[in-house]
Structure 1
Amino acid sequence: MLNFSIANTVTDLIQGDVREHLPLASIPLEGDVLGLGTTTSLDNGELTFLHDGSEPRTRLYKCAAGDGSIRQLHPGDGSAHFPYVCFSGDATALRHPVDPACLAASEGLPLQQRIGAAISSLSEQGQLAEAPIYGLRLGLEWHSLVITVASKLCMGQKRRNQAPEDPGAAAQGLYGSLQHYRLAADDPGDANDPIRFLGRSLHWDCCGFWDTQPESGRVTVPVATAPLHLHGCSRDLRHGGHLHHEHPGSRLRRLEWLAIYPLQQIRMLGSDLAVEQLGYSDGRLGFQVSNRGELDVSDLGVAVVIDDRYSSHHYLRLPWLAAGETQPFSLPLPLPPGPHQLLVMADPERHVLEPLESQANNAARLTIEL
């Protein structure tokens, strides 16, 4: 069965300080691959996955936060790591084009309602398998469209160290603070309008998802009434970003075509840090820190505590530890005669989003007698 992989979640991204990243090389782009995501915290933007049905590979575009422009990404071009991304394998066999007559029956309704109606209709007719998440490809023509592009979603927010906040409210507040862009037939010409006019590119190709449990925040903002999340690019490949289809300034002219993909197998990707081979010999402490998970980790801290004296502990920092890699350490550590307890902890502050069941190997202890 085809896997639908999720690296972190939209909820994780909203909370900020995401230190886990999926490399571009881990995303299989052969065939019709559905996905969306964000680029690194140092170079923010949105990801859009485009495929026209005849291409051998899916094209991946980065939508820039500063001006709403786009460029195609390629392995090795420097935009290789994503703090949030979800993607399928080749989903060609799961594609269900929606009959134009079915689309016409819901004409006049908001886009989210039209897509929901199409999923319900095909499911009731037995033409579409039930799934927790449905992938979507669609072509749209707009009277006017408002988009946003993620900017500094992951930089220095420190939200995880603040009092708990309703994730839905946090999502709405965060997305509301982003730069908004408007596409329309005419420039409103209002210098005081906070929504910046981009141009007249009103035909868009989009890829996104319908989550039957949107409050989970897996692929949408964690709001029960917001199951639809769409990224897209204008057909002239000038602009791209997150489609604010529900914004008052977005007015749909025509849903040109729609294809639905039932994604039944969800795979959550995560990090798994481990402290291994801890030993002490000839006045030196040796150990290694391994990343057994699927995500690269940035700014990883390692603490060395001697005899439970945290006030005088040693602290190391790794700028980057890729998935599957191991970093060895050998530290001079002179100790007086007698018994000693040595503790080495990877990520002692719990900054890395690691499943609870995977955290037991984040620390290693050693008892020695000198």
Structure 2
Amino acid sequence: MNDLDVLKEVNLLVEPQQGSGYEAILRCAFHAEKLGFGGVFTSDHFVRVGDGDPGAGPLDVWLLLAALAVQVPRIRLGSLVSPITFRNPVGLAVAAAQIDQMSGGRIELGVGAGWFAAEHLALGVGLPPVRQRMDALDEALRVIHGAWAATSDGVAYSFDGRHWRVDGWPGGPVPVQRPHPPVIVGGVGPVRTIDIATTHADEYNVPFQTPDQVCAAFDRARRAASDKGRATPRLSATIALYAGTTRLAALRRIAKAAESVEELPDFGGFGTVSKCAEILDGYWSTGAERIYLQIVDAGDLAHIELLAEACRISLDRRAREKGEAR
């Protein structure tokens, strides 16, 4: 295995609304590509999550991805995830296809039901009950796939649902990736999220859970896909991991990010590089095919280097256990 291929299934998840501006995220993406990470993905929020200074954030995620697509040449890019409560599904299909062209086929589209009440209040957008949002997400994914299909076959697309209506969409930019860019559905709902992901998605992502919880969610996804007679989508997990040259250095990073040291083991962990590698071992053991590492401070390139080192140690162990040669 080529040395730069080792981290290809590890992606960084930046959080612009937490304070990282465009220049910091651009430098982060260049550095991630240099280190060999597979992709840089971004959350899609317009309001900071939790207390603290939003700094230079937020950024419009799809403008950010378009800019990265033309400036960073090789790394994969995507949203994790764009809420359909304030993103039109045809608009998402067009944006993803256009950026797929701009990037030479490197975009991925993560879509979710929306959840952050304070954000919706600030935007003046309603946040419907969970069941209604999940119904709208299911329809939105049908619309996205329908819009891409219309673009490919030249037949105008219409959809008349309870939550979305499309009347004769003529088609938009043709994505480079065929049949379309990968679609990611993320969430921890034990029934409806799994059903939607195994019906519509190329990847199912479990965000910010313990390894045991991730493993249980993956098992549910496998069973649901099997019951449908479908292939299981790619399985992935998102975690928060804080590394330092010492434990104290890691704790300083946690404090700067305004995270809770006590709660962090519930969705990731922290410590020296060797400790972080052990934490990663636990997540790879769930059967995850991809891992996303949350990056709150995109300007902390030294942290990204430490995370890359921890990933390499963990992935080397994983390869040896499988009897694979690097």
TM-score, shorter chain, exceeding 0.5: no
- Which one scores higher on RCO, CA 8 angstroms, separation ≥ 6? 1
Greater Cα radius of gyration, structure 1 or 2: 1
TM-score, with normalisation over the residues of structure 2?
Answer: 0.30
- Larger helix fraction of residues: 2
- Of Structure 1 and Structure 2, the greater strand share is in 1
The TM-score normalised by the length of structure 1 is 0.27
